[in-house]
């Protein structure tokens, strides 16, 4: 009987694992990102950070020198674990929502095109305007490397902001505030030991905020991450505009131009869908209204 039970639970576990990936193409994309992170981690150990970034990360100068493949590899590349987890949690919740609205095949094509478009947006702005002081802070220096799935994630967010604009969501702003403080603090504090300590504390706090997403709505961890309730159409504005304004004063470790590029494409595609499928999108808007 014990063996039969063990076989049953093993089969059930395998089926649950298979179902998780059969349910959604987004889950496969997330798995691919984790595999890519592990490969990049090994590459850094063998080849060093600079060489690895030159092979997988997007850099304006490198792109125009012929490393065009990085337009694709960069959207699956993450160097820091907190960056990967933050993007994948966002992708899981936002992406699965979008997939239910537009379907698996359309979602996959849109996701890939969005990541590439966001990368191109970053590359051109960085290459032509990033050499200037203000342009460097806003768009990134042409020598700066960019990695991550957030450009494509912002495209998905932009699509939802148009298709279900009145749907209530919670935006976790704690990590955004922490990153801004970490970037601004060196202006006022010169102690390297304190700055190093503060950066470590920020990283730990961001991990806490990420894992707060799987805690209860009223839990201490969730409150610590500073969730703000808003309509979905407001979320991309809050997530981008303040960072762009702060970027006028201080350089932030955030790819605002890639985020903006992804958002623009997401908005454009959503308006295309609304125009082509007026009745269906109207039903979606009404269904997901408060």
- HEC readout, 106-148: HHHHHHHHHHHHHHHHHHHHHHHHCCCHHHHHHHCCCCCEECC
- pTM for the predicted model, two decimal places: 0.85
Taking residues 40-61, report their average pLDDT: 94
All domains of the chain in start order, with CATH: 2-173+226-287 (1.20.1540.10)
Helices 256-276 and 104-129, interaxial angle, to 10°?
Answer: 140
Q: Please list, residue by residue across 192-218, b when 16 or more beta carbons sit within 10 angstroms of its beta carbon and e when fewer do.
A: eeeeeebeeebbebbeebbebbeeeee
Helices 104-129 and 81-102, interaxial angle, to 10°?
Answer: 130
Each residue of 156-211: pLDDT tens digit?
A: 999 999 999 988 888 888 888 888 888 888 888 888 889 899 999 988 998 888 88
- pLDDT at 133 (0 to 100): 79
Judged against a pLDDT cut of 60, whether residue 4 lies above it is answered with no
* Cα–Cα distance measured from residue 70 to residue 202, given in angstroms and rounded to the nearest whole number: 29
E strands in the chain: 58-59, 145-146, 168-172, 227-231
- Identify the residue with better confidence: 9 or 121: 121
Judged against a pLDDT cut of 70, whether residue 3 lies above it is answered with no
The token duo for 172 is 């976790």
Nearest Cα to 156, choosing from 96, 230, 231, 73?
96
- Rounded to 5°, the CA angle 27-88-17 comes to 30
Beta-carbon contacts of residue 100 (< 8 Å; ≥ 6 apart)? none
Each residue of 233-270: pLDDT tens digit?
A: 999 888 888 877 777 766 666 778 899 999 999 999 99
């Amino acid at each position: 009987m014990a063996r039969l039970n063990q076989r049953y639970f093993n089969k059930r576990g395998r089926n649950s694992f298979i179902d998780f990936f059969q349910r959604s193409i987004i889950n496969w994309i997330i798995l691919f990102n984790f595999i890519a992170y592990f490969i990049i981690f090994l590459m850094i150990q063998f080849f060093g950070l600079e060489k690895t970034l030159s092979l997988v990360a997007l850099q304006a100068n490198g792109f125009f020198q012929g490393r065009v493949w990085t337009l694709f590899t960069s959207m699956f590349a993450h160097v820091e674990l907190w960056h990967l987890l933050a993007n994948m949690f966002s992708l899981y919740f936002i992406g699965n929502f979008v997939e239910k609205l537009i379907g698996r095949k359309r979602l996959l094509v849109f996701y890939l095109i969005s990541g590439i478009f966001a990368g191109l947006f970053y590359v051109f702005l960085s290459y032509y305007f990033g050499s200037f002081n203000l342009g460097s802070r806003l768009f990134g220096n042409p020598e700066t490397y960019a990695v991550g799935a957030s450009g494509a994630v912002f495209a998905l967010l932009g699509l939802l902001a148009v298709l279900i604009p009145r749907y209530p969501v919670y935006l976790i702003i704690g990590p955004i505030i922490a990153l801004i403080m970490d970037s601004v603090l060196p202006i006022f504090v010169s102690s390297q030991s304190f700055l190093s300590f503060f950066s470590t504390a920020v990283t730990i706090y961001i991990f806490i905020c990420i894992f707060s997403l799987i805690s209860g709505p009223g839990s201490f961890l969730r409150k610590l991450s500073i969730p703000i309730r808003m309509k979905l159409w407001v979320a991309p504005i809050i997530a981008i505009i303040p960072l762009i304004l702060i970027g006028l004063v201080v350089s932030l470790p955030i790819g605002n131009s890639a985020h903006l590029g992804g958002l623009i494409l997401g908005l454009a595609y959503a308006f295309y869908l609304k125009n082509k499928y007026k009745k269906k999108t109207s039903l979606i808007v009404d269904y997901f209204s408060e």
